[in-house]
A and B are shown apart, each in its own frame.
Chain A
Amino acid sequence: KHRILHKLLQNGNS
């Protein structure tokens, strides 16, 4: 769930 939001939040510079 919310995989993409997680990824965007974790990327330093998404």
Chain B
Amino acid sequence: SPTCSGMEIELLAQDVLRSHRETSQPRAEELQQRRWDTFSREEVCAYQRKPMQEMWERCAGRLTEAIQHVVEFAKRLRGFMELCQNDQIVLLKAGAMEVVLVRMCRAFNPDNRTVLFEGKYAGTELFRSLGCHELVGSIFDFAQSLCALRLSESEVAFLCAIVLINANRPWLQEQAKVARLRGRLEVAFRLLLRRTHREGLLARLPPAGRLRALCSQHVEQLQAFRRLHPGALPAAFPPLYRELFA
């Protein structure tokens, strides 16, 4: 289209990959090297003995760090900072956790169902004292299903960009502008998939509702935790976590 030249699409694609590379830690090669470095039986037991509140604080801390990287990813994405500030906030508030969940598949080992957490790979049992087995299981299932797609780093980068730039989020002020950016991202993603003979991927992606459900489940579990531990949240949870979820 006249508003979307081939050059523009090319630049956008390079930009998505660079933004992803610069803001995703650890790097893919390092994750690959460490994927069998799992917690010992004793270390798992030590995590399981931690009080519920401490485990929630730790998980909120790690999640917040991941979200800060997602904010940096968004800021480097061509077009994001040209949106009005209301819409930047709306997109991040609604999408940051979803992007973290997509990014999590990079740090997930589907062969033993473990995820990198505080330096080593951990199975669901390590998170027992959180008291939300169902949520943890669903998050692991989601990571497992993304890993089955054998996504390349470029594909993860585009998925994250497309999850974030969603013109259907409520309270957007310049919906058309977001939709145009989203459209350009989709064109660039399709071009990448055609070049790499991966067109079939689009039909195999998990439905958007699945990510949304995981995020609502997280907020529900947080509310249940707050009922059990009133007053715990202001004390030790990161302010950004409270701002996004409480």
Contacts and interface: CB of A to CB of B under 8 A. Distances in A.
A4 B89 contact: no
A2 B71 CA distance: 13
Nearest to B88: A9
Interface in A1-14: 2-6, 8-9, 14
A2 to B, nearest CB: 5
A14 B71 contact: yes
Nearest to A1: B243
Contacts, number: 29
A2 B75 contact: no
Interface in B40-79: 68, 71-72, 75
Contact of B93 (A2, A3, A14): A2
Contact of B85 (A3, A6, A14): A6
Nearest to B240: A4
A4 B85 contact: no
Interface residues of B, number: 14
B85 A9 contact: yes
Contacts of A8: 68, 71, 240
A2 B89 contact: yes
Contacts of B71: 5, 8-9, 14
A5 B75 CA distance: 12
A4 B68 CA distance: 11
Nearest to A5: B89
Given A14-B68, A14-B71, A14-B72, A9 B89 contact: yes
Contacts of B72: 14
Nearest to B96: A5
Closest 9 CB pairs of A and B: A4-B240, A8-B71, A4-B243, A2-B89, A5-B89, A4-B239, A9-B88, A5-B92, A2-B243
Interface of B: 68, 71-72, 75, 81, 85, 88-89, 92-93, 239-240, 243-244
